[in-house]
Amino acid sequence: MSSITGKEYLLEKIFSSEFSYKIPAGQRPYSWEEKNAEDLFEDLYDFFVNNPPTNNLSVDNYYFLGSIVITKKNANNPESEIMDGQQRLTSLTILLSVIAAYFDDFYQTSCYNFIWESGFAFTANSVSAPRLTMRSQDQKFFEENIQKRLPGKKKLAALEKFVCGTNTLETEAQMHIRANCGVFMKKIRETFGTGSGQNFQVDVNRLKNFCTFLMTRCYLVVVATDDSDTSYRVFTVINARGMNLSSADLIKANIIGKMPPSEQRAYADKWENLEIKATRQGFGDIFKHMRMVFIKRKAQGTLLKEFNNFVIPQIKFIAKDLKIHPSIYFIVNLLEPFTNAYVLIKSLSYSSINHSTAAEINNFLMWLNKIDNEDWMPATMKFFVDKTGDTNYVRWFVQKMERLSAFMHITSRNANQRIDRYKKLLEEMEQNPNHNLANPLKSVELSDEEKKIFLDALGGEIYRLTSRRRSYVILRLDSFVASGQILDYNPQILSIEHVLPQTVNPGSQWEKWWPDYAERDNWIHRIANLVPLTRRQNSAAQNYDFDKKKFAYFSRGGTISYPLTTQVVSQRVWTPEVVQARQKNILDIFRKNWDL
C-alpha cells in the first residue's frame, strides 16, 4: 500500500539538499500572473512588518504558505516530483533570486544556496544542480535568467536588463517568469528603498532581515507519497474544490500520468504546444465543447467530474477496441484535431485551393463568432474534425449553422432550448458518420415553423431586442445589402439610430409626414426605420427634420460606412409609404439570404 506523509517544513528546509524538485512533463506551465506575485509579496511583507521576532516564538509568529504535494519514491533520496505547488515554489525561487541580487559576497552566496545545490569539492557524490527543475521547454530559460549566479552587482544589472527586455518569448510561462521577476524587483525597491534620485538605495540590512524571516519563519506543509497515482489522488482532492488549477490541468495530470513513462515527455510536449496554440482560456473552452460532443446535454456537474465519469470511459472503450493506449488515443485522435478545429473557427483561417469558397466559409465563421453564446461551437468543431477537407460541404454546413444560430439568437431561445437543438445535430452526426453534400445533415436545417417564427421576429420591433441581438440583425442585414463585400463590422463603434425620431416635435416635418401617432408607434422600432452609424452623434440632432438629419447626422464629414445608411441618405422623403416599402424589401432580403 502506498504511503502518505504530511510534515511542516520551514523554507530553509524546503530549499535544501533534502529536496530536489522536478516538474513532471504532464504538469501545467508556470502561469502565475503579476497580481498573484504582488499578493504573495505583500502578504509576506505585511506579516514580516507586523510580527517582529521575539525570544519565545509561538505558532502565531510563523507564516503558513499552504501545502504542496510531491512524489518522493525514496525517503532518503532528495528527488521529488511536484504534483501540486510548482507555482509557489517557482515564484519563491524568483523572489530569492531577486533578493540575492542586492547582496554581496557571503550573503549572496548564502542566498544562492537556496536556489542551487552547489555540491562539495573532493567528494564522490558531489552534485551541482538547481533546487527546482522546470519543464524542458522552460528550464534553460529559467536557469539562465533566474537561477544563474553572477557576482556582486552584475546579477542586479542582469535582472534589470532581463525584466526590461522586449524580445518575444517562446512560451507563456517565460512571459510570466519575466513579468513576476519585474514585480518582485519593483516591490523590493518600494518597500526597502531609501532616498531618491542618485541617492536612492536599497536598505540591505532590512532586506537581510526579511530574507531571514522568509527562510526561518515561513513554512509549507509537504504532503509526500511514494507513487504518482497516489499523489494525483491527493492533488485532485486538494484542488478540485478551490479550482486553483483549471479542469484541463487536472485532466492533463490524469491522462499524462497514466501513460508509459517513456511516452510522457513527447505527449506532454504535444499537449503543451496545443495549449499554447489555443491559449489557456481557449484550451479550457475546448474541453467544455468536447464534453458536450460526448455527453450531449447540459452540464450537471463540474467539467472534471463529468470528464472523468462520462468521457474518459468512452475513450477507454474505443481505444481498447483499436488496441491503442487510451491516453495516446485521446491526445492524437481527439485533443489535437479538436484544438485545430477550434483555432481554425476562432481565427477564421479555413483554407482551400478554392480561395473564393474558403473566403465565404471564413465569412460565415465570422458571423457565428458574433453570436452571444458558443452553444453552436461543439457541433461545428465536430463537423470540422470529420469533414474539413470537403470544401463545398463545409461551405454548405457553415451557412446552415450560421442561419440556425442566428435564428436562436434573434428569437431569444434560452440555453436549454439551444442545447436541445444542437443535441439533435450531434446525435445525427454520430448516427450518420458518412453524411456528405449528397446526403447532408438534416438537423442543421430550419423547419417551416422555425422559418415563420424567424421572419415574424425579423419583421417585429427589432430595436426592443437586447443590444447584442439588434446589432447582429442590422449588421447582418447590412452585410447582405453589401452584396458579398466583406466589411469590418466593429461593435465597439456601432450605434443603431432611428430615422423617424422617437420624439416628434409639434409642427415639424415629421409630424406632417406622420400625423397618426399610432402609425408612428407601430413603425418607430422596426428595422426599416433603423440605420447603423459608426459613432454616437449629438443627441440633439436626432430630432432634426429629414433633410438636415441626413447630412448633418447620418453623413457628417461626407463619410457613410454602412450600405444601409447610404440607402436612407438617397431617399427624398421618409413617409409611412417609404418605410412600409422598405420593410417589405428588407424582409425579402432576409428571405433570400437566409433561405426563409
Identify the band that residue 565 occupies on the pLDDT scale cut at 50, 70 and 90. confident
Identify the band that residue 535 occupies on the pLDDT scale cut at 50, 70 and 90. low
Per the CB < 8 A criterion, the answer to whether 352 and 391 are in contact is: yes
Per the CB < 8 A criterion, the answer to whether 542 and 497 are in contact is: yes
**Percentage above 70 pLDDT, the chain:** 88
Angle (CA) 537-540-541 rounded to 5° is 60
pLDDT tens across 130-139, in order?
888 888 888 8
Would you tell me how many other CB atoms lie within 10 Å of the CB of residue 126?
11
Average pLDDT on 261-273 reads 86
Burial (CB count within 10 angstroms: exposed 0-12, middle 13-18, buried 19+), residue 89? buried
Look up residue 453 and give its three cell numbers: 417564427
Least confident of 197-201, 373-377, 429-433: 197-201
Residue 236 has a pLDDT of: 61
Q: Which residue has the higher pLDDT, 230 or 75?
A: 75
Dihedral sign of CA atoms 18, 23, 27, 28 in order: positive
Burial (CB count within 10 angstroms: exposed 0-12, middle 13-18, buried 19+), residue 79? middle
Least confident of 81-85, 203-207, 217-221, 581-585: 81-85
Q: What is the DSSP letter of 168?
A: P
Would you tell me how many other CB atoms lie within 10 Å of the CB of residue 515?
11
List of residues 6+ apart from 456 with CB closer than 8 A: none
Least confident of 18-27, 202-211, 389-398, 438-447: 18-27
How many whole angstroms separate alpha carbon 103 and alpha carbon 90? 21
Residue 220 has a pLDDT of: 87
How many whole angstroms separate alpha carbon 258 and alpha carbon 248? 15
Given a cut of 90, whether residue 91 has pLDDT beyond it is yes
Q: Which residue has the higher pLDDT, 47 or 196?
A: 47
Long-range contacts formed by 186-191: CB under 8 A, 24+ apart: 187/38, 187/41, 187/42, 187/45, 188/98, 188/99, 188/102, 191/45
Distance set, CA 367 to CA 4, 293, 462, 507, 579 (Å): 53, 22, 18, 43, 27
pLDDT tens across 330-370, in order?
999 999 999 999 999 999 999 999 999 999 999 999 999 99
- The answer to whether the predicted template modeling score (pTM) of the entire model surpasses 0.85 is no
Least confident of 218-232, 526-540, 547-561, 573-587: 547-561
The residue extents of the domains of the chain are: 4-229, 246-347, 354-445, 478-593
How many whole angstroms separate alpha carbon 63 and alpha carbon 214? 9
Dihedral sign of CA atoms 489, 490, 493, 497 in order: positive
